[in-house]
Structure 1
């Protein structure tokens, strides 16, 4: 019981913190109130180190959502990780992860943001390699090294901001519109956000991070690690709207959304399908953010966190029951054997697709209508709507393979809904996935806005979803025909199914060559010429001088005679000249 007690304590404390944070956030949003706290940590002569905290409606509501999902994930882990003797350590890692996220959310200062940012990166590495095997280690290295690029970009931004006298970017947001240097800092922050939110070309780490335990995936892919980049860019949204960066980010995030949607339709691993779905939704958030609608991006960030955490929890319960099997081709008929889990799974899937009056509908429908209303080119318009269709397509394909028909599992396996602790945590998120969207839309957009569009554009979102769902069902139903076609076009299927070869490029390509280059630099410079003329040369000269000094200090007659002769010669030469 001593191992389980830490789960209970964490769950209760995080739950109450979440409710408290949400209520304060509601008060702040109603009264348009912001608190900026400066805590003087050290004061020495004229130098003082100050920790700053920014509490506004955005940080408080996001914090409450992160805490709520974290507390339900910890409660879920109580049963999911019950066979793990070191569950205490696992819960501690999750709490460290959540603490890093809290620090990132409430910091208006780039240095304290870096503390939270790096904390997320390091703890995520520990969580990805939690199941200790070669696959997990490789995935952990890919995750850590991909995120290091963003960390370096953030460090460069911190160094560049030294020109301004303060690291509190809040004071310089207006200056960012026109000043070239601040645009450069914004560009570095955007690069950091792209690595953390796994946009092209840094997308390969996100499906690889599925090597972590499922509760971690539910936390990482819904509200913490991957959303950190989006949240940071929401804070820096002025830079995107006033420079070339908005257009660049729109292209990159649109392609990420499209690529992930295509990849998920070729994937058979349950967790990887949901991971690619996260990548697609991150592309959607980033793209609408790059167009200047930061409140919409934040709205979708919150609603997505709810149903994505639920989706991962349901996937974890299914994998648990299927004897740790993740292949959707071996599933089937789960709706008969696990009705409660299947209901939660289907609600989360429908919320992801944008089913009317579920959480995802309020944000997704509004985003697509605003895109229809905006001044955007045909390519971006196509990416938005086609990617939405692909989302519904892979969701219905997933439901078809796992829920319908009869079980395809190889052995007799008892499937049931008896994991009550897991079910309770899933029920909490189920309620939030149904009610969360409408509640948030009333809070974030209190005065109703009417988007007036032509009839065909108004219905386009719905039509795209229906066509996508039909395609997903048909492709799965006539799968034999589809497989034959896929095998006929093996190269294109392989290209689309492997995220446009991104994992190979980032592992075999970029990382292996950079590591080989690093080895050459170390061999040629650190252990080569610089060693010979630097450390070794200094060492040899010091050794020789100390040996000479030692010899002179040995009370030896020959040394005295030699020194006497030398003195006589010097004296003679001095007298002659």
Structure 2
């Protein structure tokens, strides 16, 4: 136990101090507008050198600082959360490998080295999703790995296309050649890779399935590592996405992702899946503002979202611990009385998610919505932005209503309490960051004041939509929708909207079932049908038939048999003479 403690504590101290240093360095870099490239020659052979290039600018340094900061607090939290696990050292090493892969991806200006970090994330995420070894975890892990594999293949094809430019260091020429055909193809492939990693429609089903992982892993994955890798990649490739129809394509699909995830979370009763769908909604928001060309805004929301989303998952883990591993929000209620500190952190992170003024989420979300109001945008995308914002407040209020108010619905588990101070320490530090982090980041990233002049109606639209969404969430929570499970209404509303538009079924049953059925038919018709009729079975049956005929012939006509034998001897001797 002492050894396990030391692994967690040493990892926490090292990552925490490194994160503070990197964030400070990032602020210095943004203040002096610095950017350093470090080239490390790995191999020199016949005047051909293999060079590893690393980029250190304000964007990579601040993002690395945030990833390490959140990772350090999650590792500290894991020490108590995974207390009964005999393999906690293996778990911590996996988490550290996960963080290392993300670091590698952040500081790589080269598509080859990005692929190493990208594949490292995919591989270690599979190991972490199947950490609790059961059938559900295996299925979720396989869905996660195979969905992400599509993007890995797209990235490999982009590497192959980059041979046209003679270098894989895309950062040197990505904005120069963005009108060329090759760069457009590379942009399409990078966009596909980013959509799979950040779980945009139609690759969304793996994200809620990945909730089979331990809660600290969920907090890490959904805040600053795996799902943000796609957004970060598109921030780096932003110039080739915005200058053509790829941006419009991404805007449509990311808007649909926001809308779909917001609707689905309002019909979900699993605590972790609700928070996972909220992550999906926020990823859609980042991708959509990125597709309009505002990479800095997407980066800003990426950082603020990481703070309150990690806190939200850590609070959820604490609640699940107390509920004896039950994740159904209908069994909760009045937790604010039993777990006051956890409830404070939970509600602060929820309000930050909704965009409550002067919390972390407000500075980025409100700025994004005001820029959207200011931009040249069609009515459908405008509707998706603001309606999805209302849905966010709706499912957040619904979650608070079920978990924090009313009566506790599981009396057999009555003696609830806040978890130990190790878990609470990490949560309270993140709560402070969720309150003050947005304003600090806005001062650092946007030092000169931004004035967005809008009519009063548009200026207040975000607030109005949030209030309407909150009211609807509260009212809908008070009564249950009674449906006949076989009725058409049930399938059109609860079943369709609550299952992410049947996407998990389509991406598992739809992808597997019909190809397997076609394979079975093919096997029966060809392998066991025509191939047998004209292949092995045909040869066998023909041989049996001919041998029986020959046997009958030999048994019934000895004279003909002997004459044919004599003819055979004569022919043999003729050939021998020749």
TM over 0.5: yes
Determine the structure 2 residue equivalent to 1:490.
490
Q: Shift in Å at residue 514 of structure 1?
A: 5.3
Structure 1 spans left out of the alignment, 5+ residues? 530-568
Which string of whole-angstrom CA distances, capped at 9 and with x for unpartnered residues, describes residues 170-192 of structure 1? 12212342101101101100000
Deviation at 1:512, TM superposition (A): 4.4
Call closer, same or farther: CA 1:515–1:46 in 2, change over 3 Å. Answer: farther
Distance 2:69 2:127 in 1: 22
Correspondences of 1:161-240 after superposition (within 5 Å): 161-240=162-241
Name the SS for the 2:412 alignment partner: coil
> In structure 1, what is the Cα distance between the partners aligned to 2:8 and 2:196?
32
1:77 aligns with 2:78: yes
Q: 1:44 Cα shift?
A: 1.2
1:501 aligned residue = 502
Alignment of 1:36-75 (within 5 A): 36-75=37-76
> What are the superposed Cα offsets for residues 260-294 of structure 1, whole Å, 9 maximum, x if unpaired?
00000000000000000000000000000000000
Aligned: 1:369 with 2:370? yes
- In structure 2, the residue matched to 1:295 is 296
State the shift of 1:401 in Å.
Answer: 0.1
Q: Secondary structure at the match of 2:191?
A: helix
CA gap 1:522/1:92 in 2 versus in 1, 3 angstroms: farther
In structure 1, the residue matched to 2:128 is 127
Q: Which residue of 1 aligns with 2:326?
A: 325
**Contact 2:289-2:298 within 8 A present in 1 as well:** yes
Contact 1:176 1:183 in 2 (8 A): no
Contact 1:311 1:349 in 2 (8 A): yes
Contact 1:330/1:410 (<8 A) preserved: no
Structure 2 partner of 1:18: 19
Corresponding residue of 2:272? 271
Return closer, same or farther for 1:54/1:306 CA change in 2, 3 Å cut-off.
Answer: same
- Using the alignment, how far apart are the partners of 2:179 and 2:191 within structure 1? 17
Equivalenced residues, count: 529
User: What secondary structure does 1:221 align onto?
Assistant: helix
- Secondary structure at the aligned position of 1:424 is classed as helix
Matched residues in 2 for 1:450 and 1:4: separation? Answer: 50
Q: Could you tell me how far apart the structure 1 residues matched to 2:172 and 2:225 are?
A: 26
Gaps of 5+ in 2: 532-574
The secondary structure found in structure 2 opposite 1:499 is coil
Report the alpha carbon displacement of residue 4 of structure 1 after superposing the two structures with TM: 1.4
Q: Measure the CA separation in 2 of the matches of 1:277 and 1:468.
A: 14
Q: Is the 8 A contact 1:400 1:476 kept in 2?
A: yes
Following TM superposition, by how much is the alpha carbon of 1:511 offset from its aligned partner in structure 2, in angstroms?
Answer: 3.9
Deviation at 1:485, TM superposition (A): 9.5
Question: For 1:232 and 1:17, how far apart are their aligned partners in 2?
Answer: 23
2:43 is paired with a residue of what secondary structure? strand
TM-fit CA distance, 1:516: 6.9
> 1:175 is paired with a residue of what secondary structure?
coil
The aligned counterpart of 2:546 is: none
In structure 2, what is the Cα distance between the partners aligned to 1:413 and 1:48? Answer: 66
Could you say if the C-alpha distance between residues 227 and 516 of structure 1 is closer, same or farther in structure 2, counting changes exceeding 3 Å?
farther
**What is the Cα deviation at residue 520 of structure 1?**
9.6
1:474 Cα offset (Å):
0.5
Q: Cα RMSD over matched residues?
A: 2.1
Distance 2:504 2:491 in 1: 16
Deviation (angstroms), 1:74: 0.2
Give the Cα separation in 2 of the matches to 1:384 and 1:226. Answer: 20
**Following TM superposition, by how much is the alpha carbon of 1:418 offset from its aligned partner in structure 2, in angstroms?**
3.7
1:564 is aligned to none
Q: Do the aligned residues in 2 keep the contact of 1:357 with 1:438 (CA within 8 Å)?
A: yes
Which stretch shows the higher mean deviation, 513-522 or 108-117?
513-522
- Could you tell me whether the CA contact under 8 Å between 2:318 and 2:419 is conserved in 1? no
**Post-superposition shift, 1:232?**
0.1
| Whole-angstrom distance in 2 between the partners of 1:519 and 1:115 | 38
Query: In the alignment, what sits opposite 2:100?
Result: 99
- Corresponding position of 2:560: none
Structure 1 residue 483: Cα displacement: 3.7
Partner of 2:399: 398
Q: Supply the distance in 2 between the matched residues of 1:401 and 1:22 (Cα, whole angstroms).
A: 38
C-alpha contact 1:55 1:106 (8 A) present in aligned 2: yes
How far apart, in 2, do the equivalents of 1:176 and 1:69 lie? 37
What is the match of residue 350 of structure 2?
349
Is the Cα–Cα contact under 8 Å of residues 483 and 490 in structure 2 kept in the other structure? no
CA displacement at 1:164 relative to structure 2: 1.1
Counterpart in 2 of 1:308? 309
| 367-376 vs 42-51, greater mean Cα deviation | 42-51
TM-aligned CA distance change 1:285 to 1:521, over 3 Å = farther
Say which SS state the counterpart of residue 461 (structure 2) adopts: helix
Are the equivalent residues in 2 in contact too, given 1:322–1:413 (CA < 8 A)?
no
> If the length of structure 2 is used for normalisation, what is the TM-score?
0.89
